[in-house]
Amino acid sequence: NAWRCAAAYHYFTLAHLQLYSGKAEDAMFTAIRCCECSDILGSDVFFLIALAAFRAGYLGVCSTAFTKLETQGLEESTTENVRKLALQIFTRYPPKNDRQLLRCYTECLQTGSPYDACVLSGRSILNERTMQCKTCHHFVLESEAGQLSSCPLCHSHLAVDEALVTILEEDDDEESDE
């Protein structure tokens, strides 16, 4: 699916932008979304997660990213450098998160399970109002959209009155009632 590849690189680039803008926690959550696309992006996803998680203070997530890196089939010298860096970090700091992660992030990090995320902010979409692009069918959180006039992923015109505005949980409830 072409949109899956486009979304993979979109979220990967967004996570870099967030990280270099000093928003390490946002970058980590956005980078975790990229785990679903590790078959496209490769091990770079886990390097990015490790860096963002370390900067954000999520050392449990950082540890998981290092563990994933050690099993990625990297060159032996790279794997050895990853092990040395992990040893330096985790002999100094315990590999635990100070804050609880939402289940969608944990599952995506562990297994690559997809979840709906805002293409503007990278945040997971839970019980919030969203706009869905009619071209690529990706979501933007209404609270993040502001004066947005085009989809952040495909750049199609995104008029609020034309976009499908929905709350994802309501759609799930309607299906279960049937």
In a domain, 118, yes or no: no
Asked if residue 119 is part of any domain, the answer here is no
pLDDT for the residue numbered 165: 53
Instruction: Kindly state whether residues 95 and 159 are assigned to the same domain.
Output: no
- Helix-helix angle 103-111:24-33, to 10 degrees: 60
Q: Name the residue range of residue 75's domain.
A: 2-111
Task: Give the CATH number, domain containing residue 80.
Answer: 1.25.40
- Residue 42 in tokens: 């490769």
117 found inside a domain: no
Instruction: Note the pLDDT tens digit of each residue in 15-42.
Output: 999 999 999 999 999 999 999 999 999 9
The answer to whether residue 131 scores a pLDDT higher than 90 is no
Q: Are residues 40 and 83 in the same domain?
A: yes
121 domain-assigned: no
User: Greater confidence, 126 or 51?
Assistant: 51
**Single-letter residue type at 86:** A
Position 142 scores a pLDDT of 87
Q: Are 45 and 30 in contact (CB under 8 A)?
A: no
- 178 — pLDDT class (breaks 50, 70, 90): very low
Residue 101 lies in a domain: yes
What is the pTM assigned to this prediction?
0.85
Q: Distance between CA 58 and CA 49 in Å, rounded?
A: 10
Pair 82, 28 in one domain: yes
